[in-house]
Amino acid sequence: LCKSDQACVASTLQCAAVTKGCSPTCETGKACVADKCELILDATKIDAYPEAIGDNLAMASGPNGLGLVYYDRPKGNLVQVRQQAGKWQPAVVLDGQSSSSPPKDTGNVGSGASLLIDSKGDWHVSYVSVDAKALRYMLVTGGTQAQSYELVDDGTAANGKSFTDGHHWLDDTNMAVSSMGELRIAYQDGTSGQLRMAVG
């Protein structure tokens, strides 16, 4: 998306002016920026997810107001934002980094996020660990107390049979609660091109 006289620098994800002071000239996949050869992202780059905050946004309404969960792709985090008394509260990382100071990266998670808020105000969140290619579920009690995630599907088997073609890529989750109180998560098996459902 950079202008014709600019290049997207991979380390900063920012457009920068291309200069002519590099000697020798930069190799393929690099551009001269501030008279230094920098790795760039050009039209040949293919990425499943854009480097953006707010990918896979899911919104739900509950007894305490609206709630949002989304995938912060640059940081690889699952993020929660909630409304309280008509005001939006600061964003909270549910998974992908520790709550310690300074926070530690715990993996690239949050793609395919889905949110359901029940009548008690508890949040039910399904999402995918991009690193592990696995489906996760998390309960956020009252919308404020995140519990440890539960592994729903690790991408290695279905119906009790291991896949013969390796680890399957899972994504695009969606949740509903049945009249019997069962939590149902529909999700995509991108490797086999099938829709799957987990019940809990």
Place of tokens 């987990």: 198
Gyration radius from the chain CA atoms: 21
Residue 152 pLDDT exceeds 90: yes
Q: How many CA atoms lie within 13 A of 55 on its CB side?
A: 21
The DSSP element (H or E) to which 33 belongs, if any, is strand 30-33
Amino acid 70: pLDDT: 95
The β-bridge partners of 40 are: 9
Percent of the chain with pLDDT over 70: 98
Amino acid 138: pLDDT: 96
Residue 115 pLDDT exceeds 70: yes
The mean pLDDT value for 141-146 works out to: 94
Amino acid 48: pLDDT: 64
Say if CB 183 and CB 195 are below 8 A apart: no
Alpha-carbon distance values, 148 to 35, 136, 140, 172 (Å): 48, 10, 9, 21
Amino acid 177: pLDDT: 87
Which of the four pLDDT bands, split at 50, 70 and 90, describes residue 47? low
